[in-house]
Amino acid sequence: MSWTVPNNHPDYSTLEYGWRWYRIREGILVSPIEELPLPYDGVLQDVHMIPYANLMWHALQGSWLEASPEDIREEGYALTFGRVYGPFSPDHNINCMFGSTRVTRYVSEVICCELPVDEHYDMPVEHGVDLPTLQKVECDTAAACL
């Protein structure tokens, strides 16, 4: 019997926004995969992201993370929602069931977190990382209401 992992990569022709996750280290957001700190202006080049709140939520609940969800929650983590620019390509370093996509440019517009972050970040902070909060941010920022 064969089993296939679903491919949740988005339709690149309509892709405008996406999610990234970070560990919080002394208030600074640091990508656990690339080990890159998020610049205060929120602009990153050639990075990966997950396109939709529901996929990001499921990814955070899964075991694909380098550390267990308990370790990440203890250290603190944050998500950013931002505008994405292509060209786009599938990110084969992360399980395709979460739609991870490489983008040419990512511009963070909102930080979602439960712990304090450095006050120098030039974007609003939404307190919470639960699915309803992520969906609200997606809806309010990208008008992507379901």
pLDDT by residue (tens digit) across 47-63?
989 898 888 887 777 64
pLDDT band at 83 (very low <50, low <70, confident <90, very high): very high
CA–CA separation, 75 and 17 (whole Å): 27
Examine residue 86 and state whether it is found in any structural domain, yes or no: yes
Examine residue 78 and state whether it is found in any structural domain, yes or no: yes
DSSP annotation of 14 reads G
pLDDT at 4 over 50: no
Task: Map residue 50 onto helix, strand or coil.
Answer: strand
pLDDT band at 146 (very low <50, low <70, confident <90, very high): low
Number of Cβ within a 10 Å radius of residue 19: 28
What is the extent of the structural domain holding 99? 12-142
pLDDT in tens, 111-120: 999 889 999 9
Domains identified in the chain, total number: 1
The closest alpha carbon to 43, from 89, 96, 109, 88, belongs to 109
Examine residue 72 and state whether it is found in any structural domain, yes or no: yes
